[in-house]
Structure 1
Amino acid sequence: MLVGEAIRAGAERLSATSDTARLDAEVLMAHALGASRTDLLLRHMREPAPAGFAALVARRADHEPVAYIVGAQDFHGLALRVSPAVLIPRGDSEALVEAALAARPAARRVLDCGTGSGALLLAVLARLGGARGVGIDRSATALAVAAGNAATLGLAARSAFLQRDWTRGKWNAGLGGCDLVLANPPYVENSAELAPSVRDHEPGGALFAGADGLDDYRRLIPALPALLAPGGAALVEIGATQAAAVSGLGAAAGFAARVHRDLAGRDRVVEFTRE
């Protein structure tokens, strides 16, 4: 079977479990060939299909995310390595990066709480050449992924990754004086119905946050005043229905709140600054 034929057959198989079946099949085929998707479409469609492609399609048909299968995900123009130890960076989260860059374009010190793959921190550092940053996470495995991404992107000299858990005391010791604090904490309600690709494959500890999805905001937001330098800003990602509740938690901690929307027009980020 030729590559083009195998892609068509793979897309047909994936159509029952994926809304992007053709794209998924092409990305998996490019990975199997060790080529870019552009090179695949331009140069390889009439070659014999590699034997490993069928196994990749079978994994995707079982709802495993494409990013975990190929081990990579693009985010804000960066090619990041990912694994099941970290959430897959989503395009929606790019709204936080853009809001952070607009809020403090001269930031020198950046903290990313719950860094995962390092996506938020590294995207900001890539745009702010004079900035240095720290990413914290409770998962040592996630921190290894983030540090690897920093090294690959040439940002290791301006970044550090520390194992910290904001559910434990003194987690923020030594982290104060930040111009920007970024966070994409868990915010999914425990009872929420999620797609199998998320529920069965992405780390639950980075998704779920209590009955109303606000548990981690209740822990994190009161700690922000001690983390921010004078004039600093904190930006947290939220679920689409959480803007009022998260803004209220910020108000209780003495912050003014501004809500930013993603490209789909959904509330996505709350920016906190001191009154």
Structure 2
Amino acid sequence: MNTAPTIRELLHEAESKLHNSDSARLDAEILLCNVLDVDRSRLYSAPENIIPLNAVNLYRSLVQERQQGKPIAYLTTTREFWSLEFQVNEHTLVPRPETECLVETVLELVPENAELDIVDLGTGSGAIAIAIASERPQCRITATDICGLALAVAVENACRLTASSIKFVKCDWYAGLRDTFDIIVSNPPYIRNDDAHMQGDGVAHEPGIALCGGADGLDAIRNIISNAARFLNPDGRLIIEHGHDQAQAVRSMFEKFHFTHIQARPDYSGLDRITRGKRQHA
């Protein structure tokens, strides 16, 4: 007869199995908290507590999936972004911390109580649109995605996080839009199709359509920049996240399509990650 393990024993077992992860101990703790529905302090305050076998079996199955590279966020079905808890699944990109810089850039351009029209292209889980809505509730926000399954997650997140006024549209970038906007914001796919990172821990399980941007990683960015003027109001702004090594190429595209006031913004690691520009007067 198997003896149920303690919290300490189970964490040690999981940490040893997840040795290929850069955050093996943290991964083990997050998964156990998820199974037991407790916070991490409980793991340290009662390490000798016995874990029921049904919980042990569930935990071990999650650890096995993590060993295979599945992102923690998919295993727990949640990810924190902008201090909000988002539901995520295999149809959505896992929101990254650096994308909060994109939200910050938008907020710098939108005064409190402003009533601007903003569109988030390729919204995925809705993280960007919902974060903006939480800070600028008077703005009229539209969010688009080509994937209906991702859009369903975004709608659910918006309802749960009291951002139900966001208008969601299923379309390929601008294809389904008829309005014009004061701000276009996007975190489009920008990884090269052959980039080795696509086989990295976690990333290989995320939707390729949300990550891969063609041979040079810039296909979606070209589409967004080249068509932006038609969907921007006078003095409207375009704000795009891109790869840390793509800032000059993106700036050149902004210049080619006659944007002014072009600025790059670094992420939290000091790498240029965001580019913004202003629509030139006709």
TM-score (norm 1): 0.93
Are 1:242 and 2:249 matched, yes or no? no
**1: CA distance, partners of 2:252 / 2:93:** 27
Query: Structure 1: which 5+ runs fail to align?
Result: none
8 Å CA contact 1:183–1:236 kept in 2: the answer is: yes
Q: What is the match of residue 80 of structure 1?
A: 86
Are 1:160 and 2:167 matched, yes or no? yes
8 Å CA contact 1:115–1:136 kept in 2: the answer is: yes
8 Å CA contact 1:147–1:160 kept in 2: the answer is: no
Are 1:95 and 2:98 matched, yes or no? no
Q: What is the match of residue 25 of structure 2?
A: 22
**1: CA distance, partners of 2:84 / 2:248:** 32
Are 1:121 and 2:129 matched, yes or no? yes
Q: Report which stretch shifted further, 243-252 or 134-143.
A: 243-252
Give the drift of 1:66: 0.3
Give the drift of 1:38: 4.0
Q: What is the match of residue 213 of structure 1?
A: 217
Matches within 5 A, 1:1-275: 1-15=5-19, 17-42=20-45, 44-49=46-51, 50-51=55-56, 52-105=58-111, 106=114, 108-156=116-164, 158-166=165-173, 171-176=175-180, 178-194=181-197, 195-256=199-260, 257-275=262-280
8 Å CA contact 1:75–1:94 kept in 2: the answer is: yes
**2: CA distance, partners of 1:119 / 1:40:** 30
Query: Structure 2: which 5+ runs fail to align?
Result: none
Aligned residues: 268
User: What is the letter of the counterpart of residue 168 of structure 2?
Assistant: F
Q: Report which stretch shifted further, 198-207 or 25-34.
A: 198-207
Give the drift of 1:274: 2.4
Per-residue deviation, residues 37-73 of structure 1 (Å, max 9, x unmatched):
344444x533222221111111101111000000000
Give the drift of 1:114: 0.3
- Sequence identity (%): 33
User: What is the letter of the counterpart of residue 217 of structure 1?
Assistant: I
**2: CA distance, partners of 1:62 / 1:35:** 25
Give the drift of 1:199: 4.3
How large is the RMSD of aligned CA atoms in angstroms? 1.5
Secondary structure of the residue that 2:201 maps to in structure 1?
A: helix
TM-score (norm 2): 0.90
8 Å CA contact 2:266–2:274 kept in 1: the answer is: yes
8 Å CA contact 2:170–2:176 kept in 1: the answer is: no
Per-residue deviation, residues 49-102 of structure 1 (Å, max 9, x unmatched):
222111111110111100000000001111000000011000011110111101
Give the drift of 1:184: 0.6
Q: Report which stretch shifted further, 102-111 or 79-88.
A: 102-111
Per-residue deviation, residues 218-273 of structure 1 (Å, max 9, x unmatched):
11112211222223212100000111111111111110221001010011100111
User: What is the letter of the counterpart of residue 278 of structure 2?
Assistant: T
User: What is the letter of the counterpart of residue 83 of structure 1?
Assistant: N
